[in-house]
Structure 1
């Protein structure tokens, strides 16, 4: 199977330089692929699809009228990252997570950064993800964000940028783990030959981090899911099974005397740590949404009294608000006295008159996002959409400017991807996963999301994207 002709003009390709010379860390993989016939490669690709369905790696798309479960297509050509680049990512994410954790502790306990006018007070306090009930709380061990999935992109010059932070219930890590298992079967011996770092111990590391949140010697840990109809239910059940802990819904839990218990066949058993995959405002109808049938009455009060640890802590969402994101470089400087190791994508805040004017005048060249939307929804990619869409977003921005930010359209890096019976470049992003327990630990792998449509910059699974295994090398 040959890669030529392979176009990389004006784009940073992860595998090839502009002269179609293979980058050194991909050389062994390229040799392996070129030893395969087109038929054999397509057979391997087809077998990955079958493996995903057999495992049950599916998700629901809420807006899909057909209502059927879908797989996240796995392209068999991995993204390979050398050790030098990964070292920068590790240091940059550790710095960022430490600063954001300090920010959360501060804004819920006095708000010195707001009083010092580093971040606008109104911006934080008006965010729909700022939770007044969290005021005065310090979570167990001082950790607000325990499991983080930060989205990175690489521009046309090969520089990494942080696209957004995901501090609430970041999903996708189960795909990272299962993608690796599938690729191991497709390319036996190749991963060890290339020196690819393992990710299979993630469930153990996750469990150790969750147990660290409790002062008990042997704390009881559970995974709290909204239920089988949630789009990420496969991941919830997968992680609970891999950690060897119980998967529960809100109805399986009960709060008595401000302690949390789960109902078992042997009676009530106290729960010490909850890895929750349920949104803040649905977790406790006594404190947040009274109409929620997904949560457990009294859960937040038990957390507030220190009788149960929640990962991630309620209220973390304000730190990944897309408007707050623009201030993260200042947040890092304020708390750590350092410049960001990984820069933000330049961001225009439509709440500021000067930025709003620029966005309205240049909307055809920008990516516009709702500050609280996710999954690729509420987004406009100016160069890829029509003038009528531009006008629609101009009206939305003008009517509620605080709800929108805008960024330049980056030419995301590409990775060779199988398209029908040939190999072609497709745009990708990168979601590494970070655990913050006793220390910050960046897992040496990631979920690479890929836009399967040629030229598309939208990689979200809910918008038709796929995934790749991410191979991080020792050197």
Structure 2
């Protein structure tokens, strides 16, 4: 064979020679035929061009940045409290711009749908009256806050900052695994991850069209400042305090955006006006981006045992003197059982299907749905209908059908008969994998993404 006809070596193929996707599982890096996806090729070729020692040095550079920046999360367990270094995934997930546009379109639609649902649950209540939602899923839900019924947000919107956990199924379809609207965490960690990854691969970031994150945060900062309605009052971030597991993020975001980081004891309410205590005296606060669960915000009208909130916050909201982001009571939207009804609600309210479907969910308070869950328990996750945890979060009350021992179906049947209205069945989705460096080589690992959306002056 002449040199002219000899096939050119493919460094990327050689680099991925030992990469073995799991059978029957979609993989982000390679397609079903094992071919490298086009969006990944520049990155993989850049990795392949580096000696292993150089890759190790680069990864250590990213890890060192996070250590120097003091990025950590607090983990609570039966053994006590532990501050742990934030783990960096050295290999970023590559998503083509056109696919990202499709994801964005679907999640924007979902965010607007949840806004409409929240407005109805604290307003006219049509969804319950017209049978789109069972009364019990609202009335028995501890996240539905009766004192907030009839209270319109000063900002005009219930949701200003939301997150969605999404994953790709075996057929390549993106699915929403859960909605995060109570006090979504992770945006600050995402920003630090981006900085660390950019330091790991500065040359690659300079030569590719990576979407920047700074504009996202600037736009949301400007939107929060616009909610003040004047130039005298201030914006604050309301945190539970230093013992919270994501306190680092609260303080980091406050510094990054230039907002005050406040705890409940820093505030007082006078004649419906929220004031912050400063060394110069009381100063008005008109916008609070809360990072505490809603029920703890005001011990006067909500959880009387709360030591995290400030008495009078609900009254300030009711009088229109405080914009709370997100609205108190919006956490009801995180309820697992709501996922069973959102597809039909979207069709009823918007006249269109969900552009990005959520994980298949059946509320067991309905006879046909309960029978379906019973018959397919082996491929279900069975959990509390009112749970706000993610489907894959470790939770003692979740039953994974595939892990049941032989003969355990009778116990599941009895549980469904006894507690059906308080249970949901959810399809145990097999999520796609994405490459991670393990022991010096790329190895597929299950993946989900948390995507953040912020309401700005442009929508």
The normalised TM-score by structure 1 is 0.87
Say whether 1:131 aligns with 2:145: yes
Q: Report the CA distance shift for 1:100/1:391 in structure 2 as closer, same or farther (over 3 A).
A: same
Q: Report the CA distance shift for 1:33/1:356 in structure 2 as closer, same or farther (over 3 A).
A: same
1:212–1:437: 8 Å Cα contact kept in structure 2?
Answer: no
SS of 1:80 mapped into structure 2: coil
Q: Report the CA distance shift for 1:64/1:113 in structure 2 as closer, same or farther (over 3 A).
A: same
Say whether 1:377 aligns with 2:394: yes
1:99 Cα deviation (Å)?
1.5
Say whether 1:147 aligns with 2:161: yes
Say whether 1:418 aligns with 2:437: yes
**Cα offsets for 1:347-378 (capped at 9, x unmatched):** 12122233334334433322233332426132
The structure that has the greater radius of gyration is 2
> What are the ranges of 5 or more consecutive residues in structure 1 without an aligned counterpart?
441-475
2:220–2:456: 8 Å Cα contact kept in structure 1?
Answer: no
Say whether 1:293 aligns with 2:307: yes
2:334–2:388: 8 Å Cα contact kept in structure 1?
Answer: no
| Residues 72-471 of structure 1 aligned to structure 2 (within 5 Å) | 72-217=86-231, 219-370=233-384, 371-374=386-389, 376-378=393-395, 379-383=398-402, 399-440=418-459
1:45–1:75: 8 Å Cα contact kept in structure 2?
Answer: no
Output the CA distance in 2 between the equivalents of 1:359 and 1:28. 45
**Cα offsets for 1:15-46 (capped at 9, x unmatched):** 11122211111110010111122232233333
1:402 Cα deviation (Å)?
3.4
1:100–1:331: 8 Å Cα contact kept in structure 2?
Answer: no
Query: How many residues matched?
Result: 440
Give the match for residue 51 of structure 1. 65
Output the CA distance in 1 between the equivalents of 2:313 and 2:225. 19
SS of 1:177 mapped into structure 2: helix
Output the CA distance in 1 between the equivalents of 2:387 and 2:223. 28
Give the match for residue 47 of structure 2. 33
Q: Please point out which of 7, 13, 19 is paired with 1:6.
A: 19
1:52 Cα deviation (Å)?
2.1
Q: Report the CA distance shift for 1:334/1:213 in structure 2 as closer, same or farther (over 3 A).
A: farther
Q: Report the CA distance shift for 1:3/1:380 in structure 2 as closer, same or farther (over 3 A).
A: farther
SS of 1:274 mapped into structure 2: strand
Output the CA distance in 2 between the equivalents of 1:174 and 1:393. 41
Structure scoring higher RCO (CA < 8 A, sep ≥ 6) equals: 1
Output the CA distance in 2 between the equivalents of 1:261 and 1:193. 48
RMSD between aligned residues: 2.1
1:124–1:324: 8 Å Cα contact kept in structure 2?
Answer: no
SS of 1:272 mapped into structure 2: strand
